[in-house]
Amino acid sequence: MSADEDTPETEEDVEEEAPEEEVATAELFGKWSVTNIEYSDPSTERYIAVTPIAHTMGRHSNKQFQKSEISVVERLINRLMQTDENTGKKQLATTIVSDAFDIVHERTEENPVQVLVEAVENSAPREETVRLKYGGISVPKAVDVAPQRRVDQALKFIAEGTYGGSFKTTTSAEEALASLLIGAANNDVSTYSVNQKEEKERVAAAAR
């Protein structure tokens, strides 16, 4: 046996051969990754926060302009609670969103968080109208929509579409939400949220 073979491994050699530890990352609902999310609209990117936390317990409720720090998933959950039937039922709304994400993944084989981001971007109106008074006459005027309000309006349209698609029908809320998210992500005009966006922009274009 040669002298080289008898030489014991040093601590440095052992450290170099040791496998690197994988960094654990939190996942939304314990399933969906919130990393590597792509944004196609740079104007709303900073207002669409994606985090693995779906319930911050009102941490930002007393901060007027910091609601955009809350995950867009939690903001959607909060929007779904703003109906007569679901008021205050956050656990129920969270379950609806979680089940809808499962349906979205089964149908598209994509990360449902990415689908939600695309749905919000495609449902956010770029123009709307305001009323200006000239000598007692109310005149509509087209104005650009602020990025933060664009996200607010998109979430509102998605929640309204989910409610309208499941209220007094055989369609469940999670099924209605999943169908709406997929349709909006594909920019399907027949989808309620995209249709509402197009209608707002059409009215604004006529008031230019």
pLDDT tens-digit profile of 57-81?
Answer: 777 666 667 888 889 999 999 999 8
Number of independent structural domains in the chain: 1
**Residue 166 domain boundaries:** 3-206
Distance (Å) of CA 57 to CA 156, 203, 205:
20, 38, 40
**CA pair distance 175, 103, nearest whole angstrom:** 7
Residue 8, pLDDT score = 53
pLDDT at 21 over 50: no
Pairing between strand 137-144 and 127-134? antiparallel
138-143 long-range contacts (CB < 8 A, ≥24 apart) are 140/203, 140/207, 141/207, 142/204, 142/205, 142/207, 142/208, 143/204
pLDDT tens-digit profile of 95-152?
Answer: 999 999 999 999 999 999 999 999 999 999 999 999 898 888 988 899 999 999 999 9
Q: What is the CATH number of the domain that holds 186?
A: 1.10.455.10
Q: pTM of the full predicted structure?
A: 0.82
Angle between helix 173-185 and helix 192-206 axes, rounded to 10 deg: 50
